Amino acid sequence: MVPIVYYVVLSAVLFGLGVLGFLFKRNIITMFMAIELMLNAVNLAFVAFSRMLGQLQGQVYVFFVIVVAAAEAAVGLAIILLIARNRESLNIERVNLLKL
Amino acid sequence: MIILRHLWIIPLLPLLGAAVNGLLGKHWPRRVINAVALGTTGLSFAATLELVREFRHLSPDQVPWVQSYFTWMVAGNFRAGFDLQVDQLTVVMLLVVTGVGWIIHIYSTGYMAHEGGYFRFFAYLNLFMFFMLILVMAANYALLFVGWEGVGLCSYLLIGFYFLKQSAVVAGKKAFVVNRIGDFGFLLGMFLIFWSFGTLDFQPVFAQVAAMPAEAFGQVGLIAGIALLLLAGACGKSAQVPLYVWLPDAMEGPTPVSALIHAATMVAAGVYVVARSHVIFIHSPTALVVVAVLGAVTALYAATIALTQTDIKRVLAYSTISQLGYMFLACGVGAFAAGIFHLMTHAFFKALLFLAAGSVIHALGGLQEMPQMGGLRKKIPWTYWTMLMGTLAIAGAPFFSGFFSKDLILFQSFASPFGNTVLWALGIVTALLTSFYMFRLIFLTFFGQPRYDQHAVHVHESPLNMIAPLVVLALLAVGGGWMAAPALWGGTDHFEEYLAPVFEPSQAVVEQATLGQVESSLHDVALEHALMYAAIAAAIAGFLAAWFFYVRRPRIPDRLAENLRLLYSLLRNKYYVDEIYDSTFVRPLNWISGRVLWQVVDARAIDGSVNGLAQAAQRFGQEARRLQSGNARSYAAWVVLGALAFTSLLLWIAVR
C-alpha cells in the first residue's frame, strides 16, 4: 500500500502549481484551469485521508467539490465568454473597470 | 365607602380637567373652559367633603387608611406603588387644597377674563391641583416626590405665564432653579431613607424610626441627616432662608396664581413634609433646633424686608415667607399641629389678601405700586372690607383666625420643652412687624388722598365672580380658627385634638421630654394668657405705629428713610441678597459654564475628540483605498498572501 505521505505531497505539489498558475498567468482560461487544479489537489487529499481513516465523509466532500466545480465552470465560462466578446481579449490585465 | 375605596378620584378629576382644557380648549369659548375647569375641581372638592364624611366612620385602627392602586416601579427590594393614604393630616390638607383651590378658580374666571391664553391658564391651574393632591395623598416618599416636582413645574409654568415679558420668564426660571437646589437635598434624603430602612413607604419607615432611640442634642447621626436633607427640600419649596429668593420674584405671575401657589398651597408643601415626617424630626433634637431657628430667623428677616417694599404683591410675598417661618418655628418646637393649624388659617387669609390685592390691581387697571394708590376705601368697599378682614387675621387681632394659630405657635415656642425665650422673642417681634406692615399696606392703599392719575384710571369694583370668593374667604379668615378657641380657657383645642392621632408618636416624645422638668408649663393657662396679652399688645403696637406713620403724620416715613438712609436702603434692597447670590453663585457659575465647560470642555475636549475620530477614520480610508486597485491579479496575490499568513499562524500554533 502506498503511504499517505505520497498522496499528501502530490496534493501539495498540485495545489502549489495551481497557485503559481493562478498568480502568474494572464490568460483568463488558464487561470480558470489553475483553479480547477487546486480544487482537484484538495480532492486528492480528501480521498487519500478518507481511505486511510476508513471514513466516508471525505469522499462525500469530494462529490460536493465536484458539483461546485461544475457549477462554477458553467458560470465562469459564461462570464469569460462575455469578457471575450466585449474586450476581444482574454488578458486579465484588461479587465480593470473597477480600477481607481 | 365609595370615595374611601376610590381615593384616586380626588386627584384625577383635576388632571382630567387639565387634559381636556389643555389639549382641546384652544378655540373653545370661555364658558366651556370655565365649566370644565370649575366642574372638575368642584367635583374634586365635593369628593373631598364626601371623603371627610366617610372618614369619620373609620375606627382608629383603620387610620391611616392606605389604598394601593398599582405598582409604579420595582427594582430589587425596592418597590414604589401608586399608593394613596388618608389620615387626619391629609384630610386637613385636602380641604385646604380643594376648597381654597376651587374658590381661587372661581375668582380667576373674573380676573383672567380679559387675558389671552385663557385655556392654558386653567389647564395649568388644574394640573397644579392634581400634583398638589398627589403630594398630600401620597403614601410613600417616591409618590410624594412626584407631586413635589409637579407643583414645582406648574409653578414655573404659571410664573412665566406672560411668556412675552422678559422679567416673568426670568422669574419662572429662577423659581425652578432655586427649587431644584432644595429638591437635590430632598432626593438625597429619600436615598438615605431607603438605604437605611429599605423602603420609602411612610408607615414602615416611621415605625422603624419610632423604634429607634432619640438622638442626643448636638448629635448628627442618621436621623438628623435624613431630617436635615428633607429640610433642605422643604426650605426650597417653602421659601425659607436661604432659599426664599424665588418667591418674591414669583409675583410676576397672574395674581390668582400668587394666591393659590405662592401663598395658600404649594409653599405649604415644605411645612407639610416636615409635619408628615414628624417622627423623624422629633427623634433628632439637633434637626428640630435647626428647623426652629430657620423658621424664627426667616419670619423676622422677611418681615423686616416687607416694611419697606412698595409693590403691593411684594409686601404680601414677604409676609408669606414670614408666616411660613412661623410654621417652621412651630414644627421646630415639636408643635406640629400648631404648624398645620397656622398653615390652614394662613391659607385662608393669605389667599384672601392676595385675591383682594388682585382686585385692587384690577380696579386700578394694572397698577401695583402702593405709593401711587390711596383713597380707595369708598370706591371699592367690598375689596376694602374683605382685605381688612384678612389684615386683621394676619396681624393677629383677637378672635380672628390668625390670632389663634399665631398665639398657639408663640405659646409653644415659649413653653414647649424644645422652645425658649429667644425663639419666642423673635416670634413676638415678628408679630409686631407683621401688624405694622400689613396696616401700612391698608393705609397706603385705601386711606388718604388718591395719588394715581384720576383722569387716566377709571376705578371700578370687581365683578361678582371676584367679590364672592373674597367674601367666602373673608368669612373663613374671620372664623377659621374658632375650633381652637376653647383652649384659651383651659378647654380642648379641637383642631389639635383632631390631629392628635397623627402626631401621637412625637407627642409622646415631647411629653417624655417634659417629664424631667419640675413643672410642665405646657398646660399652664395663666402663662398662656400672659403670652396671649403680649401677642395682642404687639399687634396693637404695630397697628398704632402704622396709623401714626401713615395716617396721622404721613411725612414721617420719608424723613425716617432720609435719616436712616443706610438701614432704609438695606431693607429696600432686600439686604442685597439677590446681588450677593448673583455675584457669589450665579456669575461664577455662568463664567465656569461659559469659559470652562463650553469653550474648553465642550468645544475642545468633546467636539475635538468626536471630530478627531472622524478625521482619523477619513485619513485611514484615504490610505486604505489604495488596496482596492481594481486589478484582479493583485487581488489574487492578496488572497494568496492572506491564506499563507493564516496557514503559517495555524502551523505556528500547532508547533508551539
Q: What is the 3-state secondary structure (H, E, C) of A57-89?
A: HHHHHHHHHHHHHHHHHHHHHHHHHHHHHHHCC
Contact across the interface for A100 and B628, Cβ inside 8 Å: yes
Strand partners, B140: B201
**Separation between Cα atoms, residue B590 and residue B592, nearest integer Å:** 5
CA angle at residue A22 from A16 to A28, to 5 degrees? Answer: 155
Tell me if residue B113 falls in helix, strand or coil: coil
Right CATH number for A4-94 from 3.30.830.10, 3.30.1060.10, 3.10.129.10, 1.10.287.3510? 1.10.287.3510
- Average the pLDDT over A68-96 and give the result: 88
Distance from CA of A55 to the nearest CA of B (A): 24
Task: Sort out which chain A residues have CB atoms less than 8 A from B640's CB and list them.
Answer: 19, 22-23
> Do residues B440 and B546 touch, judged by C-beta distance below 8 A?
yes
**Separation between Cα atoms, residue B434 and residue A1, nearest integer Å:** 120
Whether pLDDT at A42 is above 80: yes
Tell me the pLDDT band of A99, cut-offs 50, 70 and 90: low
Whether pLDDT at B637 is above 90: no
Contact across the interface for A19 and B632, Cβ inside 8 Å: no
Closest CA to B229 of B285, B185, B173, B167: B185
| 3-class SS letters over B446-479 | HCCCCCCCCCCCCCCCCCHHHHHHHHHHHHHHHH
Main-chain phi, psi angles of A27, to 5 degrees:
-75, 130
Task: Dump pLDDT digits (tens) for B418-451.
Answer: 888 999 999 999 999 999 999 999 999 998 888 8
Q: Which of A15, A19, A42 to mutate to test the interface with B (most CBs of B within 10 A)?
A: A19
> Do residues B365 and B447 touch, judged by C-beta distance below 8 A?
no
Q: Which of B622, B633, B634, B651 to mutate to test the interface with A (most CBs of A within 10 A)?
A: B633
Closest CA to B231 of B185, B179, B267: B185
Whether pLDDT at B406 is above 80: yes
**What are A's interface residues with B at a Cβ cutoff of 8 A?**
19, 22-23, 26, 31, 92-93, 95-100
Q: Which residue of B has its CA nearest to A98?
A: B630
Query: B381-393 burial, b for 16+ CB within 10 Å, e for fewer?
Result: ebbbebbbbbbbb
B157 CB burial (10 A radius; 0-12, 13-18, 19+): buried
Q: Which three cell numbers stand for residue A53?
A: 481513516
Task: Sort out which chain B residues have CB atoms less than 8 A from A12's CB and list them.
Answer: none
Task: Sort out which chain B residues have CB atoms less than 8 A from A92's CB and list them.
Answer: 632-633
Q: Which residue of A has its CA nearest to B640?
A: A19
Q: Which of A15, A17, A20, A22 to mutate to test the interface with B (most CBs of B within 10 A)?
A: A22
- Average the pLDDT over B137-146 and give the result: 94
Tell me if residue B371 falls in helix, strand or coil: helix
What count of other Cβ atoms lies within 10 Å of the Cβ of residue B501? 15
Task: Sort out which chain A residues have CB atoms less than 8 A from B647's CB and list them.
Answer: none
**Separation between Cα atoms, residue B476 and residue B482, nearest integer Å:** 10
pLDDT of residue B367: 86
> Do residues B212 and B282 touch, judged by C-beta distance below 8 A?
no
Distance from CA of A28 to the nearest CA of B (A): 10
Q: Residue B85 is inside which H or E element, if any?
A: strand B78-86
Task: Sort out which chain A residues have CB atoms less than 8 A from B632's CB and list them.
Answer: 92, 95-96
Task: Sort out which chain B residues have CB atoms less than 8 A from A31's CB and list them.
Answer: 636
Contact across the interface for A22 and B636, Cβ inside 8 Å: yes
Contact across the interface for A92 and B633, Cβ inside 8 Å: yes
Nearest to A100 among B630, B636, B637 (CB): B630
pLDDT of residue A87: 83
Query: B440-457 burial, b for 16+ CB within 10 Å, e for fewer?
Result: bbbbbbbbbeeebeeeeb
pLDDT of residue B517: 59
Nearest to B630 among A19, A22, A96 (CB): A96
pLDDT of residue B306: 92
**Separation between Cα atoms, residue B382 and residue A77, nearest integer Å:** 106
B56 CB burial (10 A radius; 0-12, 13-18, 19+): exposed
- Average the pLDDT over B169-181 and give the result: 92
Closest CA to B144 of B198, B105, B211, B190: B190
Average pLDDT of chain A, as a whole number: 90
What count of other Cβ atoms lies within 10 Å of the Cβ of residue B533? 11
- Average the pLDDT over B239-259 and give the result: 90
> Do residues B421 and B294 touch, judged by C-beta distance below 8 A?
no
Task: Dump pLDDT digits (tens) for B200-247.
Answer: 999 999 999 988 888 888 788 899 999 999 999 999 999 998 899 999
Distance from CA of A57 to the nearest CA of B (A): 23
Per the model's pLDDT, the better-predicted residue between B197 and B516 turns out to be B197
Predicted model pTM:
0.81
Q: Any idea how long chain A is?
A: 100
